[in-house]
Structure 1
Amino acid sequence: MSNCVPKAAAMEPIAVTLEAGRKYFWCRCGRSSKQPFCDGSHQGTGCEPVAFTAEKSGEAWLCRCKRTGNAPYCDGSHNRADD
Structure 2
Amino acid sequence: MSDDPIVAQAGPYQVELVEGQTYFYCRCGRSQTQPFCDGSHSVTDIEPLEFTAPSTGTFNLCGCKATDDEPWCDGSHNMI
Identify the residue that residue 38 of structure 2 maps to in structure 1.
39
Identify the residue that residue 16 of structure 2 maps to in structure 1.
17
Runs of 4+ in structure 1 off by over 4 angstroms are none
Q: Normalised by the size of structure 1, how large is the TM-score?
A: 0.92
Query: How many equivalent pairs are there?
Result: 79
Aligned-residue CA RMSD in angstroms?
1.1
Q: State whether structure 2 residue 56 is matched by structure 1 residue 57.
A: yes
Identify the residue that residue 27 of structure 1 maps to in structure 2.
26
Rounded to whole Å, the distance in 2 between the matches of 1:63 and 1:79 is 12
CA shift, 1:44, in A, is 2.2
Q: Give identity over the alignment, percent.
A: 52
Mind listing any 5+ residue stretches in structure 1 that lack a counterpart?
Answer: none
Q: Normalised by the size of structure 2, how large is the TM-score?
A: 0.95
C-alpha offsets along residues 17-45 of structure 1, whole Å, 9 cap, x if unaligned?
Answer: 00000000000000000000000000021
Structure 1 residue matching 2:24: 3-state secondary structure: strand
